A and B are shown apart, each in its own frame.
Chain A
């Protein structure tokens, strides 16, 4: 009885349990369906999305900087190269005691406080497995000393990189320029992806102007990294394309001679080939050594350069704007001939001064006693001011302006180096717009001898002279001779631009002006006859002595009584040989005094170097 009841209970309980177990199994199945729906979503439906996320996690891009193109002179002498540069790096995870290591390192390698603080800042930011630079640009001696002691410093390594170097130092620095570290300002104007691995960028000169050719194209490395950023392996590598090599039109031997000829003067000299517009030499003195700029010049050194009164950082060749003085006379003379205002034989009497009709104000000739009766040829050869006062007044400022503009005065020459200034070719319109004043006839008179508002850069003078030498064919000055693509042995001549030529009424006018310029050097009474005496080739030239003083001081000028800074600039423009012009030289010596005595001999030395020494 009791047993039966128990069995009955047992059966009921079993049925109850089975029902409950089935309910639970169904509930479990429901949960499984949920879980597997989730898994199907993750692994099948959204699989690609998560694959992308996973790849983004794993693969990082690393930029490889291209090596910068080299710069040579026209004869293949290297001007800018990439030299190995060594830096000292410390990997924190391989070291136990960093301060002790630094102390020990200081015994063999010079570590400045700035190095140390930068290192410590970086150390905090970077993961422990990454090498942190402590010192850049170790000297060979330091590299050697460290190598001997290397066993004492596990976790400290020397890494080689490339650093820009200018083996010729100061030579031609204003044309060549230099590179410097990319600063935040530069970063804005650069293609950030192409420069992602690059540390340096051209700051001035050719290095800046041809940045796009010199830089090259960045390479990319697809690297696999851990979550902490440790690089495990390179998955794919697109090598960088090095920058193009450039052969400049500069002749470094001539450049050296130009700078030697300018000696200790502050000034500029430009030598160019009138046929092509190739800049053969472009000097601006004093100069500076570009090498310290590459890796950040010391602040004190930079301040010294900036505050130097002789302005070594100032590129006089392109940015120095000087009154051209008497060097404009051939151009004014040509304008007079072309416009029929003067002739070969029409003469002017020079009593040593000139007065405007109806005015008592005297415009002095540089020769107090006067040149007597002069024709155009004499006026250019002897640089008679009175002749050109008269001519300028007859022509009027409008025609002077329009004619001289054709020679490139008052506008940029378009040389392929950035930063050029346009000079100033004055006109009544300009004066009214800029100064709000009318144009006075006296200002026309002094414009005739390249004074007053008239300003010109040394390069403009050289380009205008080349146009004369070419008898009207304008040139566009250029600094690049040949380009060499990366990995390509073929040399590609750089395209030269040409300016339009000057239309002329009578070709004989060229001869007249050029002959008179020959007389400047080779004539009996030529202002620069001293440099013509023993010249093995014939030179056409024109001296200039430009007053630094303003207009109102003009009549009281006395060289002896004036401080050097206010003394006249000495100028000379020239080309040679006259029958087949191969070189144009323009020289400006700041506060040098007389163009004939100071600037002309420099030009002669430059031409000798190019025409005589080259031949021998």
Chain B
């Protein structure tokens, strides 16, 4: 156990309101900026439906409240809670596999009578936390046995989620755990070896894919193969973004979006609405916020004072970036269609709550730091 730090060392009042309220102001403002832009795009994408905006606002309100609440918890408490959260998550995943509700052809939901709950959401945080927890007291870089144990912590939930099947979330969770290992100092040689194994395993992956997933990959490789079927989404979204040009067609004026040519435009393909109505400039603005958030997260990680918080903060920031790149890559036709929302912008889903909980952890890490002796 590491030595306890007396609370008198944390002289929050000397460092201003951010530390009193445990809020990271730059992160908060960037998140508000992204959410505001997102609400504008959603208002247009949803056909100017005020009810839709209200529901999204309620969801955002809940997510921000959750973020503030988690930010109040000290990283030490989070660290102590980590194994319990992880084990609960695993048990819930088991429950889903045994008796989960089938929705959209996949078992992802657990009906808790009052709310439908996706245990995989919980694991998005629990997995990197658990890996960081495991490595917290280790001498880094981790040795082979530690890496193997870390691998097991990652692979077990990832496989359970892949079985649901939810390949997108499974890969995201695996990558968030991988980021912890990488930041902890995963040896390059081992990394190269793992990459080679992964490449060799690709045909195996193909073998385990469901038909709809294979079609997505085929469609990605050649969207014109079936322009009215599987390729329709990607073709229409490219047209929407491309026709937006530098400055866009103007808010509420995107013909692809407003005239129903763009499918899933409130949810997974909302990036295309932004691209069509606000053009390249609008995308730049969104990415200014996004990049700021990622860089701020990495900065928080480098300023973190122990291994657990440092690794966790770094992983959370990088995972957020993966979210962004996977969704925008999909909508622009660079990646196959995977059902992942654009963070903070897409309508609906519990993912926004999880995401903000992650930012709550970042804020907690940043604002519970001790003043180090100079």
* Interface residues, chain A, with chain B CB atoms under 8 Å away: 9, 12-14, 16-18, 20-21, 24-25, 28, 31-32, 34-35, 38-40, 42-44, 46-47, 49-51, 53-55, 57-58, 224-228, 232
Inside 8 A of B259's CB, which chain A residues have their CB? 57-58, 224-227, 232
Encoded as 1 (CB less than 8 Å from any A CB) or 0, chain B from 313 to 347 comes to: 01000100100010011001110000000000000
Inside 8 A of A28's CB, which chain B residues have their CB? 294, 318, 321, 325
Chain A CB within 10 A, most for which of B242, B291, B307: B242
Inside 8 A of B329's CB, which chain A residues have their CB? 35
Contact assessment for B318 and A9 in the assembled complex, using a CB-CB cutoff below 8 Å: no
Complex Cα spacing A339 to B4, Å? 143
> 19 interchain pairs (CB within 8 A)?
A9-B139, A24-B183, A25-B295, A38-B333, A39-B275, A42-B241, A43-B242, A44-B280, A46-B242, A47-B242, A47-B243, A47-B246, A50-B238, A50-B242, A54-B239, A54-B243, A58-B256, A227-B260, A228-B260
Inside 8 A of A42's CB, which chain B residues have their CB? 238, 241-242, 275, 332
Nearest 5 interchain pairs by C-beta: A50-B242, A54-B243, A227-B260, A42-B242, A58-B255
Inside 8 A of A226's CB, which chain B residues have their CB? 259-261
- Who on chain B is nearest to A56 by CB? B239
B83 beta carbon closer than 8 Å to chain A: no
B240 beta carbon closer than 8 Å to chain A: yes
Contact assessment for A44 and B183 in the assembled complex, using a CB-CB cutoff below 8 Å: no
B125 beta carbon closer than 8 Å to chain A: no
Inside 8 A of B140's CB, which chain A residues have their CB? 9, 12-13, 16
Minimal beta-carbon separation of B372 from chain A (angstroms):
11
B283 beta carbon closer than 8 Å to chain A: yes
Inside 8 A of B236's CB, which chain A residues have their CB? 57
Contact assessment for A51 and B333 in the assembled complex, using a CB-CB cutoff below 8 Å: no
B310 beta carbon closer than 8 Å to chain A: yes
- Who on chain B is nearest to A53 by CB? B239
Contact assessment for B298 and A25 in the assembled complex, using a CB-CB cutoff below 8 Å: yes
Contact assessment for A49 and B302 in the assembled complex, using a CB-CB cutoff below 8 Å: no
Minimal beta-carbon separation of A229 from chain B (angstroms):
10
Complex Cα spacing A51 to B246, Å? 12
Contact assessment for A51 and B325 in the assembled complex, using a CB-CB cutoff below 8 Å: no
Contact assessment for A227 and B280 in the assembled complex, using a CB-CB cutoff below 8 Å: no
- Who on chain B is nearest to A50 by CB? B242
A24-B318, A28-B294, A40-B280 known; A17+B256 contact, CB < 8 A: no
B244 beta carbon closer than 8 Å to chain A: yes
Contact assessment for A21 and B301 in the assembled complex, using a CB-CB cutoff below 8 Å: yes
Contact assessment for B244 and A17 in the assembled complex, using a CB-CB cutoff below 8 Å: no
Contact assessment for B298 and A43 in the assembled complex, using a CB-CB cutoff below 8 Å: no
A17-B314, A21-B298, A43-B275 known; A51+B243 contact, CB < 8 A: yes
Contact assessment for A54 and B240 in the assembled complex, using a CB-CB cutoff below 8 Å: yes
Minimal beta-carbon separation of B306 from chain A (angstroms):
8
B193 beta carbon closer than 8 Å to chain A: no
Contact assessment for B301 and A50 in the assembled complex, using a CB-CB cutoff below 8 Å: no
Complex Cα spacing A24 to B140, Å? 18
Contact assessment for B185 and A16 in the assembled complex, using a CB-CB cutoff below 8 Å: yes
B182 beta carbon closer than 8 Å to chain A: yes
B348 beta carbon closer than 8 Å to chain A: no
Complex Cα spacing A455 to B259, Å? 68
B287 beta carbon closer than 8 Å to chain A: yes
User: B residues 199-241 with Cβ under 8 Å of A?
Assistant: 236, 238-241
Inside 8 A of A228's CB, which chain B residues have their CB? 260
Minimal beta-carbon separation of A86 from chain B (angstroms):
33
Contact assessment for B245 and A32 in the assembled complex, using a CB-CB cutoff below 8 Å: no
Minimal beta-carbon separation of B282 from chain A (angstroms):
10
Complex Cα spacing A226 to B259, Å? 4
Q: A18-B302, A20-B185, A50-B238 are in contact. List 14 more A-B contacts (CB 8 A).
A: A17-B301, A28-B318, A34-B334, A35-B328, A35-B332, A42-B238, A42-B242, A44-B245, A51-B242, A53-B239, A54-B256, A58-B255, A58-B259, A227-B260
Inside 8 A of B245's CB, which chain A residues have their CB? 43-44, 47, 51
Contact assessment for A21 and B314 in the assembled complex, using a CB-CB cutoff below 8 Å: yes
Contact assessment for B307 and A13 in the assembled complex, using a CB-CB cutoff below 8 Å: yes
A20-B185, A24-B182, A38-B334 known; A57+B256 contact, CB < 8 A: yes
Complex Cα spacing A213 to B288, Å? 65
Contact of A21 among B139, B183, B240 (CB under 8 A): B183
B179 beta carbon closer than 8 Å to chain A: yes
Contact assessment for B239 and A39 in the assembled complex, using a CB-CB cutoff below 8 Å: no
Contact assessment for B301 and A38 in the assembled complex, using a CB-CB cutoff below 8 Å: no
Inside 8 A of A35's CB, which chain B residues have their CB? 325, 328-329, 332, 334
Minimal beta-carbon separation of B118 from chain A (angstroms):
27
User: B residues 156-176 with Cβ under 8 Å of A?
Assistant: none
Contact assessment for B334 and A20 in the assembled complex, using a CB-CB cutoff below 8 Å: no
Complex Cα spacing A104 to B130, Å? 70
- Who on chain A is nearest to B299 by CB? A21
B141 beta carbon closer than 8 Å to chain A: yes
Contact assessment for B302 and A21 in the assembled complex, using a CB-CB cutoff below 8 Å: yes
Contact assessment for A49 and B242 in the assembled complex, using a CB-CB cutoff below 8 Å: yes
B128 beta carbon closer than 8 Å to chain A: no
Minimal beta-carbon separation of B51 from chain A (angstroms):
21
Contact assessment for A32 and B239 in the assembled complex, using a CB-CB cutoff below 8 Å: no
Contact assessment for A32 and B291 in the assembled complex, using a CB-CB cutoff below 8 Å: yes
Complex Cα spacing A47 to B276, Å? 11
Inside 8 A of B291's CB, which chain A residues have their CB? 32
B360 beta carbon closer than 8 Å to chain A: no
Contact assessment for A20 and B182 in the assembled complex, using a CB-CB cutoff below 8 Å: yes
Complex Cα spacing A16 to B140, Å? 8
Complex Cα spacing A196 to B302, Å? 70
Inside 8 A of B295's CB, which chain A residues have their CB? 25
Complex Cα spacing A600 to B63, Å? 105
Chain B CB within 10 A, most for which of A20, A25, A46: A20
Minimal beta-carbon separation of B191 from chain A (angstroms):
10
Minimal beta-carbon separation of A19 from chain B (angstroms):
9
Contact assessment for B334 and A57 in the assembled complex, using a CB-CB cutoff below 8 Å: no
Inside 8 A of A21's CB, which chain B residues have their CB? 183, 298, 301-302, 314
Encoded as 1 (CB less than 8 Å from any A CB) or 0, chain B from 86 to 111 comes to: 00000000000000000000000000
Minimal beta-carbon separation of A40 from chain B (angstroms):
7
Inside 8 A of B333's CB, which chain A residues have their CB? 38
Inside 8 A of A57's CB, which chain B residues have their CB? 236, 239, 255-256, 259, 261
Minimal beta-carbon separation of B254 from chain A (angstroms):
9
Contact assessment for B332 and A54 in the assembled complex, using a CB-CB cutoff below 8 Å: no
Contact assessment for A24 and B275 in the assembled complex, using a CB-CB cutoff below 8 Å: no
Complex Cα spacing A394 to B5, Å? 145
B75 beta carbon closer than 8 Å to chain A: no
